Amino acid sequence: MAKSNSTTTAPYTPTHCPKTGRKFTKDERRANNKAKWLAEQAAKAKARKADKAKAKASKPKSKPAAAPVAKQADRIPVAQVQAWIAAHPKRKTVSTVDITEWLPSASNTKTGKRLANKGKIDSQMSKRNNKLEAQAQRKGGTIAA
């Protein structure tokens, strides 16, 4: 026997009418049970929808992050920067650095190895042909391609 979540009503339609005592047909009971089940499902869906709306309403909305504003104490006056630049003339020059020696060579990487071997990889057929060619050379003949 199936158990219903509802506590007020029976989980199934009774076989006899409680008022008149007439026995319900199987089709009547089936239709009544189906109507009860659909009403229960609709009530559950409505309750879930209300719960979602309630949860959504109670969730605080996040504010977009404001751009950080530099404080007056964080700012350096232009005159002070110009004075520092004048006091440190060697800092003005920028030297280029060759970083190619620090970069990994293309052949060391997986992609580099693949690119280096591209076109060099023999298929199984060419390996077979190479073996046959070697056999033919040992025997003193050649293979016609």
- pLDDT: which is higher, 33 or 134: 33
Q: For residue 102, what are its two tokens? A: 């620090």
Within 13-126, strands assigned E span none
Q: Are 130 and 122 in contact (CB under 8 A)?
A: yes
pLDDT tens string 56-81: 777 666 777 776 666 666 677 788 88
Q: For residue 133, what are its two tokens? A: 């060619």
Q: How confident is the model at residue 106 (pLDDT cuts 50, 70, 90)?
A: low
Phi, psi for 23 (deg, rounded to 5): -80, 130
CA distance 135 to 60: 81
Average pLDDT, the chain: 75
Q: How confident is the model at residue 93 (pLDDT cuts 50, 70, 90)?
A: low
pTM: 0.32
